[in-house]
Structure 1
Amino acid sequence: MMVSKWWSGLRTVVERPISLLCQSSEFHTIQAIPRECTGSRIAARDRAQGRIPAVVFAQNLLDKNPHNRTLSKKQILTTERKQIKSILDSVELPFFCSTRFPLQIRAGSGSSVLLESGTVLPLKIHRDEESGNILNLVFVWADEGMELKVDVPVVLKGEENCPGLKKGGYLNRIRTSLKYLCPAEHIPPKIDVDVSNLDIGDRVFMRDVEVHPSLKLLSKNENMPICKIVATSLEIPEPAKE
């Protein structure tokens, strides 16, 4: 198949901010209270009371170069387990860690005193290996104007119409996410990749993805494929002639 034939039909786009994912995040303002003490015993007590220990800080604190680290409003917090579960049921993984949420830090559980507020991006969810229960959460500040490194999930769509799959091919999912340097206000919850026009042997490369011009792909090689339609059977060679 000619490249121009399938390329004209290829539509690889980023889910826009009007998506249901972003809409759902607007209805979830994470409520948290400060933690004065830390440690395994304190954390276990918080979990027994239906709370999840959490921390929020500036992402550049993770920079390997100490000169790039700046003082930030690091906060040691706890959140309500029921609320976090409700958010995860609504947004679902892995989109939770590419979706911004408003955060309100209250003086105490049920208090009307607001100590601080802002917008955060979930960075990590630590779970118990056996039970799967959330042990703690890590957030980074994601207020407008900040730049963050984000792993944006890749979602493949159009498999039911893919010519290569109808011929018996196999969809090889090479990358499940792409890392971008994003202004906080332009972080896409996900990237939709349309495979409905791919034939056997066709690929979608990182360079094919259309994103907001302010996003910078953090990859050394943008020619790496995201997915490929591969054949599932090998040609049987003809027997050698005597």
Structure 2
Amino acid sequence: MAKQVKLKAEPRTNVGRSAVRKLRARGLIPAVIYGGNNKPQALQVTAREINAVMSHASGENVLVELEISGEGSNRTALVQEVQHSPVGGEIRHVDFHAISMDQMIQAEVPLEPTGTAVGVKTFGGLLEQSLRALAIECLPGDLPDRITVDVSQLNIGDSIHVRDIQLPSGVAAKVQPDLTAFSVVAPVVEEEPVVTEAEVAAAGPEVITEKKEEGESAAPAPAAKEKAPKEKEQKK
């Protein structure tokens, strides 16, 4: 299950690109929290703390207990979205979704196969994963980091659908039960091209040249025409 971690935050009054650039230069990350009965609120967190929270997270869904400076009580939130730099991958912005621990939430949880399918191990088939994440509904305390699916019994032509996945207690899938999550397909065999008699005839007979014996030199080139005789000696 997703672990709840504490994170300190401060209200952010300065907004805009210039203010955000100055914020990041000071080692702070802009954030926002929305949801619940409150209006969206701009926040800022330290890059060091949010990096620690995300690096130790065992899945994509992270529950945080936000300790916002100036507020009397902490607020429980789900990390809804994290924006990264396209170049270095650093965290640029974080969205928090305020939630209540006694109210159902919806989230997408990664699906991970475990084991080696018999159709892959024995017959050389290929395991295809059609569903990378599963949309679920549960209480925040029941939110799983990921959902593992045992694919070891799959033979070629077999499939696992959403209805076949064993979900943790308190978790319900929010997609069609007949959706395919995993399947094993036969390996692709490349067929050799078939040459017809017409193609052979069109190619013509094979021309074989005589092989020279070892040490045999090439035939000498024809001798050049003898030079014209010298002019007759001058008469004495």
**Structure 2 counterpart SS, 1:29:** strand
CA-CA distance at 1:236 after TM superposition: 5.8
Q: List, as ranges, runs of 4+ consecutive aligned residues in structure 1 with deviation greater than 3 Å.
A: 212-216, 234-237
- Could you tell me how far apart the structure 1 residues matched to 2:55 and 2:84 are? 16
Following superposition, the deviation at residue 173 of structure 1 comes to 1.2
Distance 1:89 1:71 in 2: 30
Q: Which of 33, 48, 53 does residue 87 from structure 1 map onto? A: 53
Question: Quick check: 1:230 aligned with 2:193?
Answer: no
Residues in 2 aligned to 1:181 and 1:87: alpha-carbon distance in whole angstroms = 23
Q: Count residues in correspondence.
A: 192
User: Match for residue 200 of structure 1?
Assistant: 156
What's the TM-score, normalizing by structure 1?
0.72
Which of 1 and 2 has greater Rg? 2
1:142 aligns with 2:99: yes
Rounded Cα–Cα distance in structure 1 between residues aligned with 2:95 and 2:54: 15
CA RMSD of aligned residues (A): 2.3
> How many angstroms apart in 1 are the aligned matches of 2:62 and 2:129?
23
What is the alpha-carbon distance in structure 2 between the residues aligned to residue 74 and residue 235 of structure 1? 58
Which of 1, 12, 24 matches 1:47? 24
1:211 aligns with 2:174: no
* Match runs of 1:108-123 below 5 Å: 115-123=72-80
Deviation for aligned residue 1:201: 1.4
Q: Distance in 1 between matches of 2:64 and 2:50?
A: 11
> What amino acid sits opposite 2:68 in the alignment?
I
Q: Is residue 137 of structure 2 the alignment partner of residue 181 of structure 1?
A: yes
Out of 157, 165, 186, the position equivalent to 2:114 is 157
CA shift, 1:226, in A, is 0.6
CA gap 1:115/1:46 in 2 versus in 1, 3 angstroms:
farther
**Identical-pair percentage:** 24
In the TM superposition, 1:9-20 aligns within 5 A as 17=1
Shift of 1:42: 1.4
Identify which of 10, 34, 38 aligns with 1:72. Answer: 38
CA distance in 1, matches of 2:10, 2:97: 16
2:51 and 2:91 in contact (8 A); partners too = no
Asked if the contact 2:162–2:178 (Cα under 8 Å) also holds between the matched residues in 1, the reply is yes
1:130 and 2:96 aligned: no
> In the alignment, what sits opposite 2:68?
105
Higher RCO by CA contacts (8 Å cutoff, separation 6 or greater): 1
Distance in 1 of aligned mates of 2:94 and 2:62: 14
CA separation in 1, counterparts of 2:30 and 2:15? 9
For residues 200-236 of structure 1, the C-alpha deviation after alignment (integer angstroms, 9 at most, x for no partner) is 11111111122246433222x2101111111122496
Q: Which residue of the partner structure matches residue 208 of structure 2?
A: none
